[in-house]
Structure 1
Amino acid sequence: EVQVDELQRLLAGMEKEHRSLLLKMKEGEAELARLRSVEGDKLAEQDRSAQLEKEVAMLREKIHHLDDMLKSQQRKVRQMIEQLQNSKTVIQAKDAVIQELKERWLHLLQNLEMHDRIEHLIEKQVSRGGHSSRVRSKSEYVSSKRLTGPKPLPLIRVVET
């Protein structure tokens, strides 16, 4: 009976130690699971962090590329505006030259008309038996003279008498 009591006491002690060890084992497993979870979360966070870093680097590169393209386009637009302004200036200068040439042409037409009238009058005088019996050449009775001023004046022809 003493041996049975001793065995029961040993058995009870073993059962108590067994429960204690089971409890410690479960606590250890829970701690291990928690640590694994934390480490897994850390790994997941590290993976996500690495992925985000790659995305940020790619976006920075795209932004840099777009900035370069934007600067290039702005340069092209400035050059086009400058070319348009230069072209406009050239066109205005050519328009001014054209206007001046038109004015000169009109003056020349008026001079030609005046020349024709003078020639007609001289022919009338010569045919009526005017001052001289000989016919004068054009160089004898017409001299040309260009007057200068702020803008070109018409060509004036003067009859010499």
Structure 2
Amino acid sequence: MPRFCLLRFALLLVFGAGLVVGGCASSRSTQDEAAARTAVVGTWTYEVRGVAPLDQGRFRITTQNGDLRGIVRDRRLGRLRARVEVRDTRLQLTIDDLRISGFVEDDQFTGSLRRSQWTVTARRQTRTRSRFRSASLFAQRVRSAAAVDKPEILDCRSLLREASGCD
């Protein structure tokens, strides 16, 4: 009987240790995910090297209802919405059939632009071949997450007025 109790205690100890380690790993992965999101949220200026649909501009990544959202303002194409995915230091922005993917490190993003390889169209079209296959992109974060969440000082006119000679 004591042998059975000792075995039961050993199994409970192993199971408890597994829960503690699993719980710590779970909270660590949540912390890593939050750190990865914080590393990409903000306003970035970018420049594309090579022949590509995008040229240069800014993209802004924000958090809305727990999801990452992206707006790209390109000098050539104007304002575009982007789907944002982040895992560790890897960032991917998807704009229609254009995929921008690369790595974030120290407020810098180095990546490449590519078109999705598989597209299906309902009707037959004759297309001219595009020279664009892939291009490199470099971005620098110019505003962090804290600055993105606050309104800019220059966006609003002050309502306070200074009066001279009050009666």
Is the TM-score greater than 0.5? no
Structure with the larger RCO, 1 or 2 (CA within 8 Å, 6+ apart): 2
TM-score normalised by length of structure 1? 0.33
The structure that is strand-richer by fraction is 2
Quick check: which has more Rg, 1 or 2?
Answer: 1
